[in-house]
């Protein structure tokens, strides 16, 4: 994968397909290539060029020491768009990637044509804040939990009951998560990326077209928090994908891809 230098670091990226560009921004703890399982093939078939990249702290991108902020990630992504001369481009982000996309749409409308926000939020409620603080405490303690435990915890947090109740399906997910937990190279800094305070009022200043997509069984960014984003952004529409958890783009890729492409084709 080639690299761009931006914001004092190098980011690894990959371009594929032909057509108008779509930049896909991944969430925390996952490399950009996760998009290539389902989303980039569908987008390329729909006539778009796709650009995926590894956020700082994961994959082949640089992993500087210290705690990362959302502002760091936004500056990285802005620099990537500028270095590759993509703007104004369509953006798709999930989880942390959707929060990055929101801030880009707000601060850099000249770089963003439209944005699809998967599993997003504008604030952390008490439950979500407790989950993040608990993860931070574990990381700062230096404790490394066994991969089997990490896999079991991850499927419960990230997947829908429809998947958890399917023995064959959940067995495959457990195997995947156990392997990745045993080879976790994500920088500690990503655990601190979050909104500081409530961004709902600020999001009212977004002027580019946006669609927010909620996953019905998402524990990390539940539908009520996604709905807050849609309510705050002027003209933002809201869709909810059933039988899907936080990894809805992998659990229900056909429905997610259709929702993304239908919106991008209009905007």
What residues are annotated to the active site?
95, 218, 246
The residue with tokens 């659990």 is 251
CA-nearest of 241, 253, 239, 252 to 217 is: 241
Tell me if 68 sits within 8 A of 189, measured CB to CB. yes
- Please state the three-class secondary structure of 35-80 as a single string: HHHCHHHHHHHCCEEEEEECCCCCCCCCCCCCCCCHHHHHHHHHHH
Query: Going by C-beta distance under 8 Å and a sequence separation of 6 or more, which residues neighbour residue 165?
Result: none
Q: Report the DSSP beta bridge partners of residue 217.
A: none
């Amino acid at each position: 994968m080639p690299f761009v230098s931006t914001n004092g670091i190098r980011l690894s990226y990959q371009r594929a397909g032909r057509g108008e560009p779509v930049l896909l921004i991944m969430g925390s703890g996952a490399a950009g290539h996760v998009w290539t399982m389902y989303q980039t093939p569908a987008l390329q078939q729909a006539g778009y060029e796709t650009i995926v990249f590894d956020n700082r702290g994961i994959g082949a991108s640089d992993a500087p020491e210290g705690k990362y902020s959302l502002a760091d990630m936004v500056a990285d992504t802005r620099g990537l768009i500028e270095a590759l001369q993509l703007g104004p481009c369509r953006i798709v982000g999930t989880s942390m990637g959707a929060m990055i996309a929101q801030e880009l749409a707000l601060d850099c409308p000249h770089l963003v044509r439209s944005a699809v926000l998967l599993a997003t939020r504008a604030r952390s409620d008490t439950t979500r804040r407790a989950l993040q603080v608990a993860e931070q405490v574990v990381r700062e303690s230096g404790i490394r939990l066994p991969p089997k435990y990490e896999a079991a915890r991850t499927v419960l947090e990230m997947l829908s009951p429809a998947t958890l109740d399917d023995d064959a399906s959940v067995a495959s997910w457990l195997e995947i998560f156990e392997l990745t937990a045993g080879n976790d190279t994500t920088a500690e800094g990503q655990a601190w990326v979050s909104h500081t305070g409530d961004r709902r009022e600020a999001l009212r200043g977004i002027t580019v077209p946006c669609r927010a997509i909620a996953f019905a069984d998402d524990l990390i960014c539940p539908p009520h928090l996604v709905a807050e984003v849609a309510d705050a952004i002027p003209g933002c529409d809201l869709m909810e994908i059933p039988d899907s958890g936080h990894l809805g783009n992998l659990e229900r890729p056909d429905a997610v891809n259709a929702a993304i492409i239908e919106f991008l084709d209009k905007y």
